[in-house]
Chains A and B, each alone.
Chain A
Amino acid sequence: MVQSKKQRYLFLAFCLVPTFVFFILFTVYPMINGLYLSFFNWSGTSAVKEFVGLGNYKELISDPMIPKTIWHDYFLVLTKLVGIMILATFFAVALTQLRIKEAPIYRVVFFFPNIMSVVIIGILWQFVFNPEIGIINSGLTMIGLESWTRPWLGSLEWALPSLVLPSVWAGIGLFMLLLMGGIMNIPKSYYEAADIDGANSWQQFWKVTVPLIWPQIKTSIIYIVITSLNGSFVLVQIMTRGGPSDATEVMGSYLYTKAFSDFRFGYGATIGVLILIVSLITVILLQFLLKREKVEY
């Protein structure tokens, strides 16, 4: 039975209207409202708002904390990206190509952090880094490296790098599964052909696996970047609250401090607009840099 035009449109509306309504309400409206609030001096707790035009933006440009927070954000993005992509790819290849008997168990184990709340992850890692009872300092002491022990989250130099570890640990599982899906779709005959042509495992990985799972790699990279720029804040807030001093302050945690501790919601909204712009520019640049012809063998 051929569908009438009306029926087709009705079906399309059935699929699109709810999504569109939710998108307008929960994405477009808050975004426009955030932009609107950035033009006001507002405490965020009263009905009194004072229009200040571009005042908040002028302050943003001259705020010495902003370049610092952007640098901290990008440090986390880059280290997370490298850490997650290398480890996730390694585990994905290992679990699909090396015929490990316990592969299904490892898959669950690696994915486990993804079903945990970030808050729990933050608290858990606070214990791991604890100067007295933490496993890191205890482990270092046990293997005779006591001089390496330090209050990791209380060090002006080491606090930010310390946040990379939980971020990578929590991120591997999801991207590993994504890459595994890609690898499992590659026909075995390609590897057999490569074998016959004399390619070793390393060459097979670079010449067969990577080009064929490039769409998954690209998606993973963009996803990691976006979620890090918008979401590093949660881990920072739980583990260090932007400290010690301002050593781990990221754009999101700075926004939170300004909006909710200093009662400067308008300025907080301005930082929110900055996060949006920075994320957009980064994603556009990434799309451009990661552009590749689709490979088919």
Chain B
Amino acid sequence: MFTTFLKRCYILGLFILVFGIITACSTAEDGEVSQEDKSSESPNEENGEVSGDFEIQYFVGGYGDTWWKEVIADFKETYPNVNVIEHAGPNINDEMKTRWISNDPPDVVYIDGDGASETQMINDGQLMDLSDWLKDAETDDGKALYDIFITPLEEIDGGKVYSLPLAFDTWGVWYDNAWFEQEGFKVPEDFDSWMDSMIEIKEKSGIYPFNTTGNYPQYFQRGVLYPAFAAAGGEELLNDLLNGKVEAWEREETLEVLQKVQKMQEADLVDPAFAARSHTQSQMNFLMHDNAFIPVGFWLPTEMKNDTPEDFEYGFIPTPMNNAGEPMSLVPDLRPVAIAEEAKNPEAAKAFLEFIFTEKYGQKFAESTGAIMDIKDVDLSENENVPTFLKNINDTINNPDKVVVHERKTPEGDDLDISIKISDEVKKQIVPLLLGKIDAEEYIEKIIAVAEKAQK
């Protein structure tokens, strides 16, 4: 009797287990149905009022989440009928992947961090075309949303706009302003003065002045090579190179840029242990004055906040790879927000975007993230809560005689696949070039070989 009961329990348990696993593993269809039911239950716009569930996905990295928490709290207050559901965290891109795969995405997504790529999302048709809406959309400040951005909105696929740039981040070279002033080191303005400065620092301090991370060669790629290519041949050269155009790689300017890198290596100015270091290790060495210059983005002071010595004063310059007498170049690394093509509450999503792109939140963004929000007319000079380095950067960016901003355009069609392969090879050959294992010509030969193969 008892054995029969046990057997039944066992079979029932097994059935529940299998059923549970199958249910948990089921995808797409089931999820879609339940979401449709949910959205039909919650009308999004009643009598012009934005309402219903509104889901937002945002990555929390070097910028933290203070700004998001504040903005979302204010949005809730302004739109009390909207139920904001937040999906946030450092691994949120991975955590939300199954939602995107099963066509059940959140309404608004902030595209940043590992595992998220705007280019890929556009290519997969996951983002909504905002061009029609943008014609009339206004911010809560009453300005035309289309025109408020520092970098003009990128139109692709013949005039479609898929995202709005939120964070204006950019790579450049950092140094310790206080230390430089104390030692009388010069802040460079072009490649020649950079070399002079590094040679002087090496002679006086006995350190290798330049450091970067070899574990993540994209730091050198984005922080040195991109602005160097842009400074040498403008936006056209930069984009042609990265889209694998062989003629661009054969141009004299390209060779000159790589010869400058070779020159830094041959002058023994690059820390020989860079290839073994992660980004945080190289940044720690920089903070300890083991090195004087490091290419990183705006997030460096926030990321290293807890390790920064008290007397350390962050100084930032656009990477001085430009020739003397020519302006320096910045290639912004924009972190956009977008509305999902399959958004269930697009009205709330649009209201949210109109709500956040205002001067008030531009000021708060600079205060809490240490980066600049990509909107014009945000005067940071009077804001006491904004770090000094950011005010200086803001001034530098707005000085077109000294600095020119060039953009890396989103590759379209076949260019996308090619650009991934080129980018991989560009990164792969950085370490051998900086270690002196290959020279500038060999570097170019290797990229051309990949470009030619990819074009076939």
Which residues of chain B are within 8 angstroms of A151 by Cβ–Cβ distance?
272-273, 275-276
Tell me if B120 is interfacial: C-beta within 8 Å of chain A: yes
B275–A21 CB distance below 8 A: no
Least CB separation from A247: chain B residue: B431
Name the residue among A10, A152, A154, A264 with the largest chain B CB count within 10 angstroms: A154
CB of B224 to closest CB in A, whole Å: 17
Among A48, A131, A154, A262, the residue within 8 A (CB) of B420 is A262
Tell me if B302 is interfacial: C-beta within 8 Å of chain A: no
A243–B100 CB distance below 8 A: no
A132–B273 CB distance below 8 A: yes
A240–B215 CB distance below 8 A: yes
Which residues of chain B are within 8 angstroms of A156 by Cβ–Cβ distance?
275, 431-432, 435, 437
Among A10, A152, A241, A263, the residue within 8 A (CB) of B117 is A263
Known: A46-B125, A47-B28, A48-B124. A245 touches B432 (CB 8 A): yes
A154–B7 CB distance below 8 A: no
Among A10, A18, A25, A243, the residue within 8 A (CB) of B14 is A18
Among B100, B274, B281, the residue within 8 A (CB) of A45 is B100
A48–B125 CB distance below 8 A: yes
Residue-wise, chain A 1-26 has the 8 Å CB interface mask toward B (1 for contact) of 00000000010001001100100010
CB of A275 to closest CB in B, whole Å: 20
Which residues of chain B are within 8 angstroms of A229 by Cβ–Cβ distance?
none
A243–B431 CB distance below 8 A: yes
Known: A17-B14, A43-B124, A47-B102. A243 touches B214 (CB 8 A): yes
Known: A151-B272, A154-B273, A241-B215. A263 touches B120 (CB 8 A): yes
The docked-state distance in angstroms from the alpha carbon of A238 to that of B121 is 28
User: DSSP majority for the A interface?
Assistant: loop
CB of B2 to closest CB in A, whole Å: 15
Which residues of chain A are within 8 angstroms of B285 by Cβ–Cβ distance?
132
Tell me if B156 is interfacial: C-beta within 8 Å of chain A: no
Which residues of chain A are within 8 angstroms of B275 by Cβ–Cβ distance?
151, 153-156, 243-244
Among A43, A47, A132, the residue within 8 A (CB) of B120 is A43
B14–A154 CB distance below 8 A: no
Which residues of chain A are within 8 angstroms of B126 by Cβ–Cβ distance?
45-46
CB of B430 to closest CB in A, whole Å: 8
Known: A14-B10, A47-B102, A246-B428. A129 touches B115 (CB 8 A): no
B273–A45 CB distance below 8 A: no
Tell me if A190 is interfacial: C-beta within 8 Å of chain B: no
Chain A 146-191 interface residues, beta-carbon cutoff 8 Å to B: 151-156
A45–B276 CB distance below 8 A: no
Among B21, B115, B120, B274, the residue within 8 A (CB) of A25 is B21
A-B contact count (CB 8 A): 95
Known: A21-B18, A154-B274, A154-B277. A45 touches B214 (CB 8 A): no
Chain B 80-127 interface residues, beta-carbon cutoff 8 Å to A: 97, 100-103, 114-115, 117, 120-121, 123-126
Tell me if B429 is interfacial: C-beta within 8 Å of chain A: yes
Which residues of chain B are within 8 angstroms of A155 by Cβ–Cβ distance?
275-276
Among A14, A48, A152, the residue within 8 A (CB) of B276 is A152
CB of B94 to closest CB in A, whole Å: 9
A129–B276 CB distance below 8 A: yes
A47–B101 CB distance below 8 A: yes
B102–A154 CB distance below 8 A: no
A243–B120 CB distance below 8 A: no
A154–B276 CB distance below 8 A: yes
B276–A131 CB distance below 8 A: yes
Which residues of chain A are within 8 angstroms of B430 by Cβ–Cβ distance?
245
Which residues of chain A are within 8 angstroms of B124 by Cβ–Cβ distance?
43, 45-46, 48
Residue-wise, chain A 253-269 has the 8 Å CB interface mask toward B (1 for contact) of 00001001111100000
CB of B103 to closest CB in A, whole Å: 5
B431–A245 CB distance below 8 A: yes
The docked-state distance in angstroms from the alpha carbon of A5 to that of B102 is 48
Which residues of chain A are within 8 angstroms of B14 by Cβ–Cβ distance?
17-18, 21
Tell me if B424 is interfacial: C-beta within 8 Å of chain A: yes
Least CB separation from B432: chain A residue: A245
The docked-state distance in angstroms from the alpha carbon of A53 to that of B7 is 48
Known: A10-B7, A131-B276. A46 touches B101 (CB 8 A): yes
Chain B 122-140 interface residues, beta-carbon cutoff 8 Å to A: 123-126
Residue-wise, chain B 3-29 has the 8 Å CB interface mask toward A (1 for contact) of 000010010001001100100010010
Tell me if B209 is interfacial: C-beta within 8 Å of chain A: no
Tell me if B320 is interfacial: C-beta within 8 Å of chain A: no
Tell me if B217 is interfacial: C-beta within 8 Å of chain A: yes
Chain A 228-253 interface residues, beta-carbon cutoff 8 Å to B: 240-241, 243-246
Known: A14-B10, A21-B18, A260-B115. A243 touches B215 (CB 8 A): yes
B97–A45 CB distance below 8 A: yes
CB of A83 to closest CB in B, whole Å: 22
The docked-state distance in angstroms from the alpha carbon of A132 to that of B211 is 14
Which residues of chain A are within 8 angstroms of B17 by Cβ–Cβ distance?
18, 21
The docked-state distance in angstroms from the alpha carbon of A14 to that of B277 is 53
Which residues of chain B are within 8 angstroms of A245 by Cβ–Cβ distance?
428-432
Chain B 396-444 interface residues, beta-carbon cutoff 8 Å to A: 420, 424, 428-432, 435, 437
The docked-state distance in angstroms from the alpha carbon of A261 to that of B218 is 12
Which residues of chain B are within 8 angstroms of A240 by Cβ–Cβ distance?
215
Known: A45-B120, A156-B431. A262 touches B214 (CB 8 A): no
The docked-state distance in angstroms from the alpha carbon of A44 to that of B117 is 12
Least CB separation from A241: chain B residue: B215
Which residues of chain B are within 8 angstroms of A43 by Cβ–Cβ distance?
120, 123-124
CB of B268 to closest CB in A, whole Å: 15
The docked-state distance in angstroms from the alpha carbon of A243 to that of B219 is 14
22 A-B pairs within 8 Å (CB atoms) are namely: A14-B10, A21-B14, A25-B25, A43-B123, A45-B126, A46-B101, A46-B126, A48-B125, A153-B275, A153-B276, A156-B432, A243-B275, A244-B276, A245-B428, A245-B431, A245-B432, A246-B428, A257-B424, A260-B114, A260-B115, A261-B114, A263-B120
Binding site for B on A (CB under 8 A): 10, 14, 17-18, 21, 25, 43-48, 129-132, 151-156, 240-241, 243-246, 257, 260-264
List the 6 closest A-B pairs by CB distance, nearest first: A154-B276, A154-B275, A46-B124, A151-B273, A131-B273, A151-B276
Known contacts A17-B14, A132-B290, A262-B424; 11 further A-B pairs (Cβ under 8 A): A21-B14, A25-B21, A47-B28, A47-B101, A130-B276, A132-B273, A151-B273, A155-B275, A241-B216, A245-B428, A264-B420
Binding site for A on B (CB under 8 A): 7, 10, 14, 17-18, 21, 25, 28, 97, 100-103, 114-115, 117, 120-121, 123-126, 214-217, 272-277, 281, 285, 290, 420, 424, 428-432, 435, 437
